[in-house]
Amino acid sequence: MALVELERVSKSFGSLQALSEVVLALEEGEALGIVGPNGAGKTTLLNVVSGTMRPDAGRVVFAGRDMTRLPGHEHCRAGIARTFQIPRPFAELTAYENVLVGATYGRRDSDRDLQGACVDALRRAGLLDKANAPARRLTLLERKRLELARALATRPRVLLLDEVAGGLTEPEVNELVTTIKELRGEGVAIVWIEHIVHALLSVVDRLVALAAGRKLLEGEPQQVIESPQLRDVYLGSEL
């Protein structure tokens, strides 16, 4: 049994079909990449897996448990954490205090060593030296690392990443890739949406391409990236 399973998941917003009968599986410790043009349904897919949106049809199953109708905080406490494309920390709180919120309300266990959990999350995200800095003073890279640290403080089994490399310089992207590889090496399963393809390909085992809410392709990352079908949805078949 896969750790996460999407069973014919559909989601629409009025006349817009954001996801259409998507079938997907994520294995324990696997790194899965998601690609597709804008409007393909990538972020909606993460929203459904994380419980911030309910699908109109289909099921979301995590570790054998049907999570479909449970709210987002239950998904988090079960072991599914996520970052958001645009970091929105509590600006007047310090980095440590932001992570403490995640550790306090998002944990799935009864371990009360919250201070240790926060320090460990900040260390793993490469932000320990900014623990006492107000979030409003952090750089974009540091705010993205704070998103990561807040998620890690919940001790997830699955980490959902939504374009965490967007807007970063090449050295910053490389730093982030190193961090994600380390997390994956520790056994955290990862689903990563990313437009910076070389970063994505350096981490993931498998790639899924979405187009117009449907799964277009799935397979070995380089083959998916080089496929004519994916080129067509990005550039148009005439090109």
Query: What does the domain layout of the chain look like in residue ranges?
Result: 4-235
The predicted model scores a pTM of 0.92
For the chain, the average pLDDT equals 93
Q: Are 10 and 57 in contact (CB under 8 A)?
A: yes
**Given this model, what pLDDT does residue 237 score?**
53
50-65, pLDDT tens digit by residue? 999 999 999 999 999 9
Identify the CATH number of the domain defined by range 4-235: 3.40.50.300
Whether 239 shows a pLDDT value over 70: the answer reads: no
58-84, pLDDT tens digit by residue? 999 999 999 999 999 999 999 999 999
**Given this model, what pLDDT does residue 26 score?**
97
**Given this model, what pLDDT does residue 30 score?**
97
**Given this model, what pLDDT does residue 113 score?**
81
